């Protein structure tokens, strides 16, 4: 673990934490939430690994003379140049269940750069943003658990890659924003503010999009060229639509296959010739006036349509089951993949006298994708998070969440076809469920430590264990781990 942290030279930062300086806010003021929408979840965490982010604090003031040794940050900020770093280290293991038992260490360094063109060149309303990842380590889900709902949101093949690079122009007194460049849908679409607390990837970009769309869709670790328009006539309502290249890696296969990451190793393929993916979303935030007697919340409705060609999960070009020995072996081509979703983020309780800083929030997301190309036909997750539950630990956040991904009827029929035509006794996939409990402890603003427990029911939705000679399904898995996050 020490070797991994030392790779980026941030171990010194952890040793120098101390003092009583005030934390500096980065990227998002506290009035904004994940996805840069009005903050309506009191229990939004202090730090997060989810791409949608949220307001964050910096550990810089606690590093003494090493925080900004040359004093460049305020000078650059005055000139419209801001940068920040986020370092995340995960250690997770599955002592019970999965394909086999083991442990994995992963880490990710995230470098962000914002350029305010108004201050730099006098270009009113213009902003340039870039985000790069330096990813190391071994994936617990890929090598040990075998689950669909990836245990850690930072799990990816080791690489140094560009994530997003875009230009944003605000118009109509800031009510309309047009953004173009290399974009990621998981930074702004299908975002729950409360769910950003959790470690499992499905609480960010949900499994129904990650498993149904080519290369996992425009989401971590792959982004793609696109354009997004967002209209916010006031601080309550927003309407946004994004047009993306429909296959970030050109893998031409649904799901976050590691091979897709190899096809786009550096994030600089900039594919523009694949069939399009369109995502549209409307959100309404209520009780956002700061009145302590009201409970804020956000209702979000949206949907997506990918216009590409997809392989039928069950039938060949002649309409026979692919498992049939007389089949052509070539899957029938299907047009498009689509789905709709709804999200509710709701603050349930405010700590008396604490304003917007402490209390209980809940979320629920539900989505359906009835198209025949979908591996997951419906998905739901929900959870609770409480910030400041333990006396004297006002900025700590405790949460419990559940995610459920259901295998489509077409995929289940394909499993039964294999049994029928080959005589093999294999499990028929049904669904996968993850239950996660986590506690994010604030050491100082910008530095958190987060113990995490997950229990995965039917990993892989109930697939046969490739290491079991009898072909029995993968056993339910318990995952124990801890995450450390430093924001600078």
Neighbours of 81 (CB within 10 A): 16
Report pLDDT for 134. 97
pLDDT band at 67 (very low <50, low <70, confident <90, very high): confident
Q: Give the residue-averaged pLDDT of 282-294.
A: 87
Report the pLDDT value the prediction gives residue 55, as an integer from 0 to 100: 57
The candidate with the shortest Cα–Cα distance to 464, out of 429, 422, 412, 413, is: 429
Mean pLDDT of 401-407: 98
Q: Is the pLDDT of residue 229 over 60?
A: yes
pLDDT class for 258, splitting at 50, 70, 90? Answer: confident
Give per-residue pLDDT as tens, 437-462: 999 999 999 999 999 999 999 999 99
Q: Which pair of tokens denotes residue 460?
A: 């892989």
Q: Is the pLDDT reported for residue 8 higher than 50? A: no
pLDDT for residue 23 is more than 60: no
pLDDT above 50 for 13 = no
10-24, 60-74, 173-187, 413-427: the lowest-pLDDT one: 10-24
Q: How sure is the predictor about 423, in pLDDT bands with cuts at 50, 70 and 90?
A: confident
Residues spanned by the domain of 171:
2-487
Higher pLDDT, 260 or 434: 434
Q: Give pLDDT, residue 253.
A: 87
CA dihedral 11, 50, 158, 277 (to 10 degrees): -160
Write down the mean pLDDT value for the chain. 90
String of b and e for 454-481 (b: at least 16 CB within 10 Å)? Answer: bbbbbbbbbbbbeeeeeeebbbebbbeb
10 Å CB burial of residue 353 (0-12, 13-18, 19+) is exposed
Average pLDDT over residues 37-66: 83
Instruction: For 390, list phi and psi in degrees, rounded to 5.
Output: -90, 125
Distance CA 154, CA 159 (A): 12
pLDDT in tens, 299-330: 999 999 999 999 999 999 999 999 999 999 99
Q: Domain with 381 in it: what CATH number?
A: 2.40.160.180
Closest by CA to 66, choosing from 31, 32, 16, 104, is: 16
Report the number of distinct structural domains present in the chain.
1
pLDDT at 84 over 50: yes
pLDDT at 69: 84
Is residue 19 scored above 50 in pLDDT?
no
Least confident of 127-136, 362-371, 465-474: 465-474
115-119, 189-193, 419-423: the lowest-pLDDT one: 419-423
- Going by pLDDT thresholds of 50, 70 and 90, the confidence category of residue 56 is low
Predicted pLDDT at 11: 38
Model pLDDT, residue 313: 93
CA atoms within 13 A on the CB side of 287: 18
pLDDT at 66: 84
Mean pLDDT throughout 341-361? Answer: 88
Q: Residue 476: name the closest of 148, 101, 96 by CA.
A: 96
Check residue 29 and give its pLDDT. 52
Question: In DSSP terms, which residues pair with 361 in a beta bridge?
Answer: 347, 385
pLDDT tens-digit readout, 85-128: 999 999 999 999 999 999 999 999 999 999 999 999 999 999 99
Cα 468–Cα 471–Cα 473 angle in degrees, nearest 5: 90
Q: Calculate what percentage of the chain has a pLDDT beyond 70.
A: 92
Cβ atoms of residues 274 and 241 within 8 Å: no
pLDDT of res. 292: 78
């Amino acid at each position: 673990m020490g070797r991994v942290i030392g790779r980026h030279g941030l171990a010194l930062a952890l040793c120098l934490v101390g003092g009583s300086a005030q934390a500096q806010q980065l990227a998002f003021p506290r009035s904004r939430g994940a996805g840069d929408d009005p903050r309506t979840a009191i229990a939004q965490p202090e730090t997060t690994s989810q791409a949608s982010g949220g307001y964050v604090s910096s550990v810089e003031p606690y590093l003494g003379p090493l925080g900004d040794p040359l004093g460049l940050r305020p000078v650059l900020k005055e000139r419209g140049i801001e940068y920040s770093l986020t370092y995340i280290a995960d250690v997770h293991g599955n002592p019970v269940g999965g394909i086999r038992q083991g442990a994995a260490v992963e880490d990710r360094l995230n470098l962000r750069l914002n350029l305010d063109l108004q201050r730099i060149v006098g270009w009113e309303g213009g902003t340039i943003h870039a985000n790069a990842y330096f990813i190391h380590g071994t994936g617990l889900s890929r090598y040990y658990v075998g689950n669909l709902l990836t245990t850690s949101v930072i799990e990816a093949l080791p690489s140094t890659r560009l994530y997003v690079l875009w230009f944003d122009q605000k118009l109509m007194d800031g009510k309309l924003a047009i953004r173009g460049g290399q974009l990621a849908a998981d930074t702004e679409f299908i975002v729950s503010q409360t769910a950003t607390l959790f470690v499992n990837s499905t609480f960010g970009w949900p499994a129904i999009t990650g498993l149904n769309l080519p290369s996992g869709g425009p989401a971590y670790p792959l982004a793609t060229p696109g354009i997004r328009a967002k209209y916010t006539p006031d601080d309550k309502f927003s309407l946004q639509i994004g047009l993306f290249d429909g296959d970030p890696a050109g893998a031409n296969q649904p799901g976050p296959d590691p091979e897709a990451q190899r096809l786009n190793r550096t994030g600089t393929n900039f594919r523009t010739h694949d069939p399009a993916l369109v995502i549209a979303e409307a959100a309404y935030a209520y009780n956002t006036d700061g009145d302590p007697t009201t409970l804020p919340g956000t209702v979000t409705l949206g949907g997506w349509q990918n216009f590409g060609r997809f392989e039928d999960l069950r039938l060949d070009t002649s309409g026979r089951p692919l498992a049939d020995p007389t089949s052509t072996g070539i899957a029938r081509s299907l047009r498009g993949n689509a789905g709709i979703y709804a999200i509710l983020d709701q603050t349930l309780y405010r700590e008396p006298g604490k304003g917007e800083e402490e209390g209980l929030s809940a979320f629920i997301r539900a989505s359906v994708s009835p198209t025949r190309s979908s591996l997951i036909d419906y998905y739901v997750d929900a959870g609770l998070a409480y910030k400041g539950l333990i006396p004297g630990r006002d900025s700590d956040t405790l949460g419990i969440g559940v995610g459920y991904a259901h295998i489509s009827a077409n995929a289940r029929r394909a499993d039964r076809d294999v049994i029928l035509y080959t005589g093999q006794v294999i499990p028929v996939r049904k669904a996968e469920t993850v239950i996660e409990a986590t506690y994010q402890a604030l050491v100082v603003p910008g530095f958190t430590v987060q113990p995490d427990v997950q229990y995965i029911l039917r990993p892989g939705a109930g697939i046969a264990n490739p290491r079991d000679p009898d072909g029995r399904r993968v056993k339910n898995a318990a995952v124990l781990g801890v995450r450390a996050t430093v924001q600078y």
